[in-house]
Amino acid sequence: MAVLSKIRQKSALLIAVIGIALLAFVIGDVVRSTGGGLSRNVGSINGEEINTQEFLHKVAQAEKNGQMSNTQASVAVWNSEVNNILLTTEFEKLGLRIGKDQLVNVVKNNPNFANNPEFLNQLGQFDVNKFNQFVLMMKQAGQEQWNAWLAYEKELEKVGLEQMYFSLIQGGIYTTQTEAKASYLADNSKVSFDYVTVPYSTVNNEEAAVSDAAIIDYMKKHENRFKSETTRELQYAFLASKPSDSDKDAVKETIESLLQPRVQYNAETKKNDTIPGFKTIKDVESFVNANSDIKFDSLYYAKKDLPLEYQEELFNLQPGQVFGPYVMGDYYCVSRLLDKKPGQRVDAAHILITYAGSAAPGSTRTKEEAKAKAEEILKKVQEAPATFAAVATVETEDPGSKNNGGKYEDIPNGQMVKPFNDFIFNNPVGKIGLVETDFGYHVIQVINKKEGAKLATVALKIEVSDATADELFTKATTLEQDAASANDFIMTAKGLGFDTQNDVTVRPFEEFLPGVGNQRSIVAWAFNKDTKDGTIKRFDNADGHIIVKLKSKNDTGLMPIEEVKPFIEPILMNEKKAQIIKQKMTGKTIEEVSANSKASIASVSEVSLNAPLITNIGNEPLVVGTAFATAVNQNSNLIDGAKGVYMVKTKNVANAPELPNYNSYKAKVENGVRNMAQMRVMKALKDNAKIKDNRIGVIQ
């Protein structure tokens, strides 16, 4: 619950909070570490080397403060290092520097400061004097804290320089009136034409088959589009560690035995005692805690909060009645109803009015002003209770309920702060009143109270037995041994009951594999220099056994064929099909081509360059562009379109009328280019940089 679920820490902890924020800024520079260790650099950008020790230090900080995995942190830090080096070089070329006033502007826009009330004045605006006081506090907090701040300040300077750099680039982008006019004409000029087409689909794929060699050749010709890290292609089989039917039956038998009395030898009396079963035991809590894998729960639950599959059976029990055994997730359960009480869950709505100094930050009104406003709202909603939700939507300062008319549902006793909790549980449905908490003043409406059921449940986890675990391990080792000589690894695994994945492409710093989740150790193994093509290895974990085969390595610097085939194969196949189709699309006019190819003539009316849609076919920009370029009543040459081969005969070109100016189109084009500028600049810098990545050999 956004405002009421807990009381926030006071501003006395500001320095500690900001200190954490400083460490969280881990993608930039941190205090340099020195000393020995790994001798090889983790990589270089245009000859500037990235020290391995410093890199690993940053990765550790990112992993800790960013709550990410080591691999994710490594990727994030590497990308940041590349960007920082490339941009710093650009800053130095241009002689960019950042002054104190510019740095303050960066701070103003940083959410660590801009959204923190400790740095705002009474008008909610950033207060430079408060910020300067904070910097002084940081300096007086000790050398370690001060060094952290100085490192953070350097990162703020980099942010400011980046903003300046990209602003300069965006400011230099200009769209001419000619470009603006071209954009206008592409939207508004229309062409109408007749056409004849033979679709590519009329030629069988077998007649235009594309080889892997042709796909590789295409990638080499368009290398910039298909650049890739080194990759590995894997096959693997997964045998989940799941309880067998025998394991499930054994747990069910055990839990059923707990329902009935049982005889147990008493070592002290040297006699057999009869222990009551779950159905009749009086000390239910002790029985549950002694026999269940999930401890006793004393809460009352509304019907809607019970497991959906067994809601009716559980809630409709009479006190003392037992339901089960039943399966819930990984557990066999039996439940006994202990009690039912009305009013155990409450639906309530509130309107929170805060004040300066309350636990809800951001308010500038005094406590007296807040109370006066709350009393005014109370009077208003008491006179018209039906308006409570509407008034709450406008007036409440609790963001957690503002969009829901101030309403919270199914509130259990004890969840809210005490004054709020006491009001909703001690007053009848419909009551509207005012209470004060540490968060401010609450105008509260009790909307509904629900009956609650108190259930005792014995739950035994259904786990893999030792016998089943041995059986699964034997099956996994059998596949591992047989796979090396098997003609078809995947079919062999399927025959043994494994789930399989075929032709899975992985990159050096990936973690997740389809069907088996996070398997970083498998990816690292696949990229180990000692792992050869065809190598097979078994990986055991809590979820089961994975038998992996390294099918192939790809160190070409181009994307794997299987990844690009869905994109490249249709292009090359359609080129072959076009040559086949053109052999029967003979003639100099669409009438002759229609007769020779037995394809009918169709018409298109008023299409534009920016919306080149041919009815029942789809977008055909080259075809529409050719129609614009062909003289009226003239036939074009054959056109290799997106969906087939075409010939067009232009009937009419309606050029858009001249405008006094094209300023709206100029702004549209200019904004589009500016919005893409940062991404395109970074891509250009990386494409033209000499980036050497040693991470696989050094840290993996």
Smallest CA-to-CA distance from 678 within 157, 48, 87 is with: 87
Residue that is written with structure tokens 């002689």 in the block: 95
Tell me: pLDDT of 365 over 70: yes
Q: What is the CA radius of gyration of the chain?
A: 36
Tell me: pLDDT of 66 over 70: yes
| Predicted pLDDT of residue 31 | 30
| Lowest-confidence region among 129-133, 634-638, 640-644, 649-653 | 129-133
CB atoms within 10 A of CB 453: 23
DSSP H stretches of helix in 319-366? none
Pick the more confident residue, 109 or 21.
109
Structure-block tokens of residue 59: 């990765």
- Alpha carbon dihedral 160, 162, 165, 169, in 10-degree steps, equals -130
| Predicted pLDDT of residue 61 | 87
Q: Is the peptide bond before 276 cis (omega within 30 degrees of 0)?
A: no
Alpha carbon distance 187, 166 (integer Å): 30
Q: Helix, strand, coil proportions of the chain in percent (round to 5)?
A: 45, 25, 30
Smallest CA-to-CA distance from 152 within 98, 211, 107 is with: 107
Smallest CA-to-CA distance from 647 within 77, 196, 188 is with: 196
| Predicted pLDDT of residue 37 | 44
Tell me: pLDDT of 5 over 80: no
Tell me: pLDDT of 608 over 80: yes
- Give the angle subtended at the CA of 485 by the CAs of 480 and 488, to the nearest 5°: 85
Alpha carbon distance 310, 327 (integer Å): 10
Going from the C-alpha of 503 to that of each of 304, 349, 386, 508, the distances in angstroms are: 45, 55, 62, 16
Alpha carbon distance 390, 380 (integer Å): 12
Alpha carbon distance 395, 352 (integer Å): 8
Pick the more confident residue, 699 or 77.
77
Task: Name 692's bridge partners.
Answer: 44
Query: First-to-last CA distance in the chain?
Result: 43
pLDDT tens, residue by residue, 545-574: 999 999 999 999 899 998 999 999 999 999
Smallest CA-to-CA distance from 390 within 398, 399, 382, 381 is with: 381
Alpha carbon distance 308, 445 (integer Å): 29
Taking residues 222-226, what's their average pLDDT?
Answer: 90
Residue that is written with structure tokens 């222990």 in the block: 275
602 touches 594 (CB < 8 A): no
Alpha carbon distance 237, 502 (integer Å): 9
Amino acid at position 532, single letter:
K
Amino acid at position 579, single letter:
Q
631: DSSP letter: P
Taking residues 452-461, what's their average pLDDT?
Answer: 95
Tell me: pLDDT of 35 over 80: no
Smallest CA-to-CA distance from 345 within 408, 399, 437 is with: 408
Going from the C-alpha of 180 to that of each of 151, 234, 365, 659, 663, the distances in angstroms are: 46, 51, 52, 11, 7
Residue that is written with structure tokens 């239910």 in the block: 284
Question: Measured in whole angstroms, how far is the alpha carbon of residue 35 from the centre of its chain?
Answer: 38
pLDDT tens, residue by residue, 141-152: 889 888 888 888
Structure-block tokens of residue 540: 């055991």
449 touches 342 (CB < 8 A): yes
Alpha carbon distance 198, 520 (integer Å): 50
Work out the pLDDT band at 414, boundaries 50, 70, 90.
confident
DSSP H stretches of helix in 503-560? 520-526
| Predicted pLDDT of residue 7 | 22
Beta strands in 82-189 (DSSP E): none
**Mean predicted lDDT score pLDDT of the chain:** 89
Alpha carbon distance 146, 58 (integer Å): 19
361 touches 119 (CB < 8 A): no
Smallest CA-to-CA distance from 526 within 544, 539, 516, 514 is with: 539
